[in-house]
Structure 1
């Protein structure tokens, strides 16, 4: 049902018609809520409606009409098999048709199902004819929205803060299978869209974290290489070595470096396939140096990243 937030409540009784703004509706109503007198004649109802405060009606846009239980058809039925969401309204409509003596297309009803035990269910049905509903709504045609409920439902109302927004699900309405199917279809599409948006956000977040980690590794490598300062009285060998290390690829990490006048040791973490390629490049660029690779752990063919100590000697 469509959600509403009524700003005004109208109470029908056999002797008077009361109207209250929703915020100032008294908890103790000034009439007998258990009044079992039958519905008055059409003329008597119109006389009651003439006593309504027009000033309150003029400022109302959403109305909730509360009708005595005795004016409506209230029944309970025990059924010895489960009632699915599609079957329950049809069963309620059939029972309402028997009690209101009106054709199905002119019946407005509300139903609820309670499970008594494993195999027994109780169906509650509140119904009225379209003729009575239209008569009770007649003075409120100017209102934007107008809903009809029973006094029984009003007494069972929730005291929660946002309960006023749920009155739409208790109203007496006619059977609209196409509207129910449309509403279910809209609900499924909303769920699909929400899941799709959530999935895309997760993927974007994952790639954002990967990109951030990659940039952080690049910055760390740059800081490590830039932190290597040339000694004030260093040799040409050390200067050339530091220049070479500053040009390491991004997937090669320099852990530490120790150097002497004619020898140095660089501790590297790099992909297994990159080591022979880099050695070939370095040997070509510095043919007068001697190179020695000392693995820090046992090298395996399936190992993708390795830790090595690279000893370099100036001949």
Structure 2
């Protein structure tokens, strides 16, 4: 497992301290027999250190040091109420100070919290003095390493898939850090704001690009109509029928897009695209203004749908004849 490949494990027992490299971390032996090993005195611990061989077993730049539970102060406290998350470190520190008779600033501790019911909870506290922790890590001080100190029972309670360095760091012994929870919360809030800012900026950019494309499309279409109308006006200004037809064309609504126009003698032909509802109103208006003209209208649904409007859009061909 990749998460477990960047640290080594040192396991203390009553007789020795044994190192495991990364390739063996996921399949370590059962150390439950070491949990109650008696705590050694200074001479016994020195002898254990003398027998320790530090060589190729070290892997990566970090070491997790596992010690028997009996070597630390381990206590369980049943509390007749639930403890808020923000107060759990302080509650664990109080129990650790009471159990070890050490000052808070000279104490390493960790805890596990378990709600038992709506009114009861269990707080397990692991603690030792800073002096004792320094003796346990002494043989590794000559190597530039980062250390975590845990009990064997804490290690055994963790699933092999969850024994990553970050997970173990939450269970390891450390000094009391009253601002740690605030820093964690502030860091989480910071990243939430970063993600929210990225989402908002991305959404705004996409929306702006969409508006810009639609605006450009409408401006080009309108300019095309104006240019076409101008050319037609200059070409057919002498023809009264064409001029009348052009007057109608120039009054087209904004929703209409003129595709083709041709006028000869007393006939005119045009093709355009516009919403079906606008076409109905336009034909009514034109027939009222030119009752002596004949109109042949052919229309079909326009595909694809116009990006300008969500209404039904049609392609229409209109032939206009002036009655004799």
- Same fold by TM-score greater than 0.5: yes
Gaps of at least 5 residues in structure 2 are 276-287, 292-310
Q: Does 1:153 align with 2:154?
A: yes
CA distance in 2, matches of 1:27, 1:33: 16
Note if contact 1:263-1:314 (Cα within 8 Å) is conserved in structure 2.
no
In the other structure, the counterpart of 1:193 is 194
The CA deviation at 1:124 is 1.5
Which range moved further: 132-141 or 29-38? Answer: 29-38
> What is the aligned partner in structure 1 of residue 71 from structure 2?
71
C-alpha separation in 1, matches of 2:59 and 2:93:
35
Q: Distance in 1 between matches of 2:125 and 2:134?
A: 20
Alignment of 1:1-315 (within 5 A): 6-25=6-25, 27-29=27-29, 33-56=33-56, 60-141=60-141, 142-160=143-161, 163-215=164-216, 251-254=254-257, 261-262=266-267, 291=289
Structure 1 pair 40/227, CA: closer, same or farther in 2 (3 Å)?
farther
Query: C-alpha offsets along residues 153-176 of structure 1, whole Å, 9 cap, x if unaligned?
Result: 111222327834422111111101
Give the direction of change, closer, same or farther, for the CA distance of 1:148–1:257 in structure 2 (3 Å limit): same
The one-character-per-residue Cα deviations of 1:4-52 (angstroms, maximum 9, x if unpaired) are 9742110011111100112223735286634423210122112212222
Q: Which runs of 5+ in 1 are unaligned?
A: 271-289, 294-304
What CA deviation, in whole Å up to 9, does each residue of 1:127-185 have, x standing for no partner?
Answer: 11111111111121223311111101111222327834422111111101134333332
Find the aligned partners of 2:174 and 2:166 in 1 and give their Cα distance: 17
Counting helix residues as a fraction of each chain, which structure ranks higher? 2
Whole-Å Cα distance in 1 between the matches of residues 154 and 247 of structure 2? 84
Offset at 1:203? 1.4
- Normalised to the residue count of structure 2, the TM-score between the two structures is 0.68
Change (3 A) 1:103 1:124: same
The whole-number CA distance in structure 2 between the counterparts of 1:198 and 1:162 is 33
C-alpha spacing 1:4/1:91, structure 2 compared with 1 (3 Å): farther
Distance (whole Å) between structure 2 residues aligned to residue 47 and residue 225 of structure 1: 98
Report the Cα offset of residue 120 of structure 1. Answer: 1.0
CA distance in 1, matches of 2:105, 2:34: 30
Q: Secondary structure at the match of 2:119?
A: coil
Change (3 A) 1:129 1:5: farther
Aligned-partner Cα distance in 2 for 1:199–1:37: 58
- Tell me how far apart the structure 2 counterparts of residues 259 and 244 of structure 1 sit (CA, whole Å): 13
CA distance in 1, matches of 2:202, 2:243: 48
Deviations 1:237-266 (CA, angstroms, capped at 9, x unpaired):
5699689969989x4323787977445677
How many residues align? The count is 277
User: Aligned partners of 1:161, 1:226: CA distance in 2, in Å?
Assistant: 71
**1:285 aligns to what?**
none
